[in-house]
Structure 1
Amino acid sequence: MQTQNGSHDIDRAAELLNGKLISVLTGAGLSTDSGIPDYRGEGAAVRNPMTFQQFQSAEDLRKRYWAGSHLGWKRFAASAPNDGHSALAEFERRGLSNGVITQNVDGLHLQAGSTRVVDVHGSIDRARCLRCGQYYARTPLAQRIEDLNPWLEESESHTLNPDGDADVHDVDAFVVPECTVCGGMLKPDVVFFGEFVPTRKFQLASALVDQSQALIVAGSSLVVNSGIRLVERALRKHIPLVIINRGTTKADRRADVKLDGGASVILCDLLERLTA
Structure 2
Amino acid sequence: MASPRSSAKTRLQKGKIVEPRVHILKDGSLSAVAEYIKEGKAKNIIVMSGAGISTAAGIKDFRSPGTGLYDDLEKYNLPYPEAVFDISFFKDNPSPFFRLAKELLPGRYRPTFTHYLLPLLARKGLLLRSYTQNIDMLERLTGLDDELLVEAHGSFATSQCIKCEVVTDSKWVRKHILKSSIPYCETCGGLVKPTITFFGEDLPARFGRLALQDFKKCDLLIVLGTSLQVEPFNRLITRVGPECPRLLINREKAGEEMHGGFDFDDKWKYPTVRDAVFLGNCDDGVRELAKLCGWEGELQAMFEAGNIEMQIAEEMEALSLAAELEEAVAVANEAEKEAEEEAEEKAEKEAKKGARKEAKKEIEKETKREAKKEAVAVEPETKRPLQKKEEGKEKEGRQKETPAEKDVPSEDDVVQQLSERLLSTDLNAASETFTAADEILAVSTESVVVVTTIVDTKEAPKPAQV
Q: Same fold (TM over 0.5)?
A: yes
Change (3 A) 1:137 1:260: farther
Measured after TM superposition, the shift of residue 244 of structure 1 is: 0.8
Residue from 253, 271, 276 that aligns with 2:290? 271
- Partner residue in 1 for 2:82: 49
Larger deviation, residues 248-257 vs 29-38: 248-257
The alpha-carbon deviation at position 227 of structure 1 amounts to 2.8
Matched, 1:229 2:239: no
The equivalences for 1:3-82 within 5 A come to 9-18=29-38, 19=40, 20-21=42-43, 22-45=45-68, 46=71, 48-50=81-83, 51-56=86-91, 58=92, 61-69=93-101, 71-74=102-105, 76-82=106-112
TM-score, length basis structure 1: 0.77
1:124-167 deviation line (CA, Å, top 9, x unaligned) = 23321122322234333232456xx5xx5xxxxxxxxxxxxxxx
* Higher RCO structure, 1 or 2 (CA under 8 Å, sep 6+): 1
Deviation at 1:11, TM superposition (A): 1.0
List aligned pairs for 1:103-118, cutoff 5 A. Answer: 103-115=133-145, 116-118=148-150
For 1:194-213, what aligned pairs fall within 5 Å after superposition?
194-213=200-219
- Aligned equivalent of 1:158: none
**What CA distance in whole angstroms lies between the structure 1 residues aligned with 2:65 and 2:34?**
27
**Larger-Rg structure:** 2
Q: Which residue in the other structure is 1:250 paired with?
A: 255
SS in structure 1 of the partner of residue 94 of structure 2: helix
Q: Secondary structure at the match of 1:85?
A: coil
**Residue type of the partner of 1:15?**
E
175-184 or 91-100, which deviates more: 175-184
SS at match of 2:291: helix
Amino acid at match of 2:137: G
CA spacing shift, 1:78–1:229, aligned 2, 3 Å? same
Cα shift readout 1:97-134 (whole Å, capped 9, x = no counterpart): 11210011111011012211100000023321122322
**For the residues of structure 2 that align with 1:36 and 1:144, how far apart are their CA atoms?**
21
Matches within 5 A, 1:69-218: 69=101, 71-74=102-105, 76-115=106-145, 116-144=148-176, 152=180, 176-218=182-224
Return closer, same or farther for 1:145/1:99 CA change in 2, 3 Å cut-off.
closer
Residue 155 of structure 1 is matched in structure 2 by: none
AA at the equivalent of 1:104 = N
Aligned identity (percent) is: 28
Give the equivalent residue in structure 1 for 2:13. Answer: none
- 8 Å CA contact 1:125–1:137 kept in 2: the answer is no
For 1:144 and 1:216, the matched residues in 2 are separated by 37
Question: Could you tell me which amino acid in structure 1 is paired with residue 108 of structure 2?
Answer: A
Structure 2 SS opposite 1:205: helix
Question: Which AA in structure 1 matches 2:153?
Answer: H
Checking the alignment, whether the CA contact within 8 Å between 1:103 and 1:120 is kept in structure 2 is: yes
Deviation at 1:42, TM superposition (A): 4.8
In 2: Cα distance, 1:142 partner to 1:231 partner: 34
Q: CA deviation at 1:83?
A: 0.6
Distance 1:180 1:78 in 2: 28
Extract unaligned runs of 5+ from structure 1. Answer: 1-7, 153-174
SS of 1:225's partner is: coil
Cα distance in structure 2, aligned partners of 1:85 and 1:264: 9
- Secondary structure at the residue paired with 2:116? helix
Cα deviation code 1:185-205 (max 9, x no counterpart):
212211112323234322223
Where do 5+ consecutive residues of structure 2 fail to align?
A: 1-27, 74-80, 257-261, 265-273, 296-466
Please say if residues 127 and 138 of structure 1, whose CA atoms lie closer than 8 Å, have aligned partners that are also in contact. yes
Distance 1:15 1:145, change over 3 A: closer
The amino acid across from 2:163 in the alignment is: R
The alpha-carbon deviation at position 86 of structure 1 amounts to 0.9
TM-score by length of 2: 0.47
The 1:206/1:103 distance shift into structure 2, 3 A limit, reads: farther
How far has the Cα of 1:263 moved from its partner? 1.3
8 Å Cα contact 1:73/1:125 also seen in 2: no
TM superposition shift of 1:179: 1.4
What's the CA shift for 1:259? Answer: 0.9
- Change in Cα spacing, 1:237 to 1:108, as seen in structure 2 (3 Å) is same
CA shift, 1:237, in A, is 4.0
Separation (CA, whole Å) in 2 of partners of 1:31 and 1:216: 16
**3-state SS, counterpart of residue 244 of structure 1:** strand
Closer, same or farther: CA 136–271 of 1 in aligned 2, 3 Å: farther
Query: Does the CA contact (< 8 Å) of 1:245 and 1:260 recur in 2?
Result: yes
Deviation, structure 1 residue 67: 3.5
How far apart in 2 are the matches of 1:78 and 1:237? 41
Query: 1:13 is paired with a residue of what secondary structure?
Result: helix
CA distance in 2 between counterparts of 1:32 and 1:237 reads 32
